[in-house]
Amino acid sequence: MIQEYQPVIRELEGLAHDRGLAFDPVVFQITDSDEIAQVASMGLPNRFIHWYWGGTYKELVLQQTKEVFSILELVLNTNPSHAFLRSTNTYLQNVLVIAHVFGHADFFANNHWYRKSNKNMLNLAEQHARLIRCYEAQYGRDRVEKLLDALLTVATSVNAFERSPQEQRKRLIYYLEERAPLEEFERVLLEAIREEAEYFDIIQRTHIINEGWATFVEAELLNRLLSAKEWASISTQLCNRPAPYTIGYTLFAHVRDQDGFRRALELRQFYEDVSLIDTALTEELVRRLDIFVYDAKEKQKSYDLQKVKEMLIAQKLFKGEPRIEVDPASQGRDLLLAHLDEDRKLEPKRLGLFLRSVYSLWRNPVKLRANGKVYTYDRRGLSST
């Protein structure tokens, strides 16, 4: 079936190169919605099986039946890149998708932050999955699953952009990797989960710029490939996409209009979400994109550029998660964590569960300063002062 698309793939690839794009080979394959939901929920097609992906998979399968929210394609940041096109897509949809995929492939190959990412992730993920199966046989499924739950919980603290070892050590997962009294197999799993989390962290921190660039490239290529009538119908679809796509696309289109295509190429090479927003978002674009800070109590919207920017950047810097750091006062067996935005309250129900996960890895009392209290989790459970 993919043969049908080979001529258009070649044509779009040629157009992309003409526009100055460069990327690793892309292997296209046509697959069904179910497989797309499967890969999307796990992040990689051969990743280890965990219940948490199961919930996402279930939701995605449902979504795939609804045309508006369905996923049309998936592309993996590997070398070669693997792109999955949905078999139920129309020919024109797949042409759009192919152009979009070339945008992603170009971003993966050229963006500065992706240089650190592991392009051999498919093999590594397979290796991890096999390792986990072996450990399950050796140590029991329950024990391994509980360990994976705890590791995936602390894995959100990775930062693939952080280069300074000192700064990195402030992040929980790296601290645990260095100092937690883990058994050998537990340590091996911690490293595996951390490696995978770093791979996905880069993708998460470049979500807007990556999707924006891919949509921008898609528009650039299709504008040249399609007839005026076809293009007119497609261009309205381009704007009818989820927020990261439209925000990123609008920023790139604005940069191109203001400073030319070369400047857009530069942004895709050196920037990530935070720097792109900081550089390219303007008051006019905030209005055009209809993004605002919403006060739920007062039911009021603020389009103030500074406020919107700050909030967007804060979301992207910490992936929307609370900033938890290992306090320098942590010594020996004492692990003290601190929530850095003390003004913002954390959901109390989750605190105990989170600390229990950390405790299962640290095996000694864990403290967390948050919500104006110090929470302690030890062998007696949760307490606060």
Partner 1 sequence: MKIHRGRIAQHKHDQHLREYLKQNLNELIQQKELIIDGKVKTQIATLDLPTLKFAEEAQYLAQGAGSAGSGTGAGAGGGAGDDRVQALGGLLGGDHHGKELRVELDFDEFVKLAQEVLLDELQLPTFHEPARQGEVESQDIPELDDLDRIGIRADLNLEETMIQSLFRNARERGTLDYDVDIQQDAWYFVEDPTTFQNNRSVEVYVLDVSGSMRGEYLSLVRKTIFILWHYLERRYPTNLRRYVVFQDVAEEKTRDEFFCVESSGGTHISTGFEKAIELLEGAREYDKFLFMFTDGETSSGDFDLAKKRFEEARGAFDLVIYCHVNPGGRGIGGFSEYVQETAKAQEGAAFANLMDLETIRGAMKDFLAFFDAQSKRRVSETVRR
For residue 380, the minimal CB distance to partner 1 (Å) is: 19
Q: Rank residues 4 and 321 by Cβ distance to partner 1 and give the closer one.
A: 321
CA dist 350 → 154, 236, 261, 343, 355 (Å) = 13, 42, 46, 18, 9
Both structure tokens of 166: 């000192």
CB of 293 to partner 1, least distance (A): 6
Strands 26-31 and 81-86: parallel
In angstroms, what CA-CA distances link 46 with 43, 122, 127? Answer: 9, 7, 9
**Contact, 225 vs 14, CB < 8 A?**
no
Nearer to partner 1, 9 or 189 (CB): 189
For partner 1, the closer CB: 31 or 79: 31
HSE-CB of 13 using CA atoms within 13 angstroms: 13
* Residue with Cβ nearer partner 1 (95 or 150): 150
Question: From the CB of 385, what's the least distance to partner 1, in Å?
Answer: 19
What are 368's two structure tokens? Answer: 């967390």
- What secondary structure does DSSP assign to 119-186, as a single string? TTHHHHHHHHHHHHHHHHHHH-HHHHHHHHHHHHHHGGG--TT---HHHHHTSHHHHHHHH----HHH
CA distance 314 to 216: 25
Here the tokens at position 371 are 């919500």
Smallest distance from the beta carbon of 58 to partner 1, in angstroms? Answer: 5
Nearer to partner 1, 34 or 178 (CB): 34
CB of 17 to partner 1, least distance (A): 26
We find the least distance from the C-beta atom of residue 229 to partner 1, in angstroms, to be 18
In the complex with partner 1, the residue whose CB is nearer, 117 or 153, is 153
Q: Minimal distance in Å, beta carbon 320 to partner 1? A: 2
> Over the Cα atoms of the chain, what is R_g?
23
Smaller CB separation from partner 1, 34 or 334: 34
